[in-house]
Amino acid sequence: MRTRTVLPAAAAVLVGEYERHLRLERGLSEHTVRAYVGDVVSLLGFMYGVTAEDIESGVPPVEDGARELHELDVAELRAWLAGQRSSGASRTTLSRRAASVRTFTAWAHHHGALKGDPGARLVAPRPHRKLPGVLRADQAGEVMRASSAGAAQLDPVALRDHAILELLYATGVRVAELCGLDLGDVDFPMRVVRVLGKGDKERTVPFGVPAEAALRRWIELGRPELPDTQGGSVETALFLGVRGRRLDQRAVRRMVHDAVGSVPGAADMGPHGLRHSAATHLLEGGADLRSVQELLGHATLATTQLYTHVTVERLKAIHDRAHPRAR
């Protein structure tokens, strides 16, 4: 984020304070903080006329007083977004960046850096809501059967991968949530797992008998076989990599992609696709929308409602194929 180095000192300080607010007071993830701060730095760079050439050449910071931050208005916000659109940013990206700067201007106004809140008047195009690719229930079953066959050889990695696939599909947890699980987060008598989600919000998610069996086999038979690289200390992570440390998200994504890709006709997907599939199958099985929202850890019901569109589309496809008067 080299743009920040050529901003006026006062603006750079404000960005630092905003970053601390997002991280410490809002409790946002590192990925979200980087995205929000990057958008604000881009906006301020546009406001102060910082060009790509300035950044590459390492020009001295813009002098304070060249422009005042309180001069930022909605016209400048719109011009910045227009420039983003001209550079090829998608509607989804524009919507996210508009939301990001609205958050910043509201915070800056509250802290006295802006006399008003220009972001409150900023309107961005609504993002296109793409229907997520999902597995059919029979395809999900085939993924689990193939994974179980591999785990039957009692190879530690195969046992781990089967437990991961079963847990991802059973609970719909995010890949970051899965990798953050500790042994103590699993309650076998209750068959639930305690998950720390976005914004450090904790929720309890149930899982079924197949996931329980796969987890027990991994913990009892597979996990002790992986090397201990912690100097004799016991690693608390539920899932370990081949070097004995907490499993990396990228390894999970590769494994899920390969496992699903082995099923003929299955959509190309990673862990998030299993999350989509779990939500869709829950709704198709009769679960109510509010319960699915709780299970997935969605902040708003509007996010969960996307899955109702998926089920409707699938019902329409079935109707078109099966009903004699569909066409």
Residue 327 is a catalytic residue = no
Options 4, 21, 275, 276, the catalytic residue:
275
Q: At 60, is the secondary structure helix, strand, or coil?
A: coil
pLDDT of residue 231: 44
Options 26, 34, 272, 314, the catalytic residue:
272
pLDDT of residue 65: 47
Q: At 152, is the secondary structure helix, strand, or coil?
A: coil
Class level of CATH domain 137-270: mainly alpha
Residue 298 is a catalytic residue = yes
Q: Where, residue-wise, is CATH 1.10.443.10 in the chain?
A: 137-270
The per-residue pLDDT of the chain, averaged, comes to: 83
As a whole number, mean pLDDT of residues 286-294 equals 82
**Which H helix or E strand runs over 14?**
helix 9-20
Which of these, 21, 22, 17, 67, lies nearest to 46 by C-alpha position? 67
pLDDT of residue 156: 95
Residues with Cβ within 8 Å of 158's Cβ and at least 6 positions away in sequence, in order, are 147, 150, 151, 222
Q: How many CB atoms lie within 10 A of CB 230?
A: 12
Identify the CATH assignment for 2-121 out of 2.60.40.1120, 3.30.930.10, 1.10.150.130, 1.20.950.20.
1.10.150.130
Q: Where, residue-wise, is CATH 1.10.150.130 in the chain?
A: 2-121
Is pLDDT at 244 greater than 90 in this prediction? no
Residues with Cβ within 8 Å of 257's Cβ and at least 6 positions away in sequence, in order, are 268, 269, 270
Which of these, 272, 283, 201, 207, lies nearest to 238 by C-alpha position? 207
Options 174, 223, 276, 281, the catalytic residue:
174
Residue 201 is a catalytic residue = no
CA distance 271 to 323: 34
pLDDT of residue 56: 47
**Is the Cβ–Cβ distance between 220 and 232 less than 8 Å?**
no
Residues with Cβ within 8 Å of 211's Cβ and at least 6 positions away in sequence, in order, are 163, 166, 167, 169, 170, 171
Higher per-residue confidence, 122 vs 215 = 215
Residue 198 is a catalytic residue = yes
Query: Whose structure tokens read 């950044």?
Result: 55
Q: How many CB atoms lie within 10 A of CB 90?
A: 13
pLDDT of residue 290: 82
Confidence of residue 251 (pLDDT cuts 50, 70, 90): very high
Options 26, 136, 198, 203, the catalytic residue:
198
Residue 174 is a catalytic residue = yes
pLDDT in tens, 30-51: 888 888 988 888 888 888 776 5
Which of these, 238, 242, 237, 236, lies nearest to 255 by C-alpha position? 242
> What is the phi-psi region of residue 307: left when phi exceeds 0, alpha when psi lies from -120 to 50, beta otherwise?
alpha
Residue 257 is a catalytic residue = no
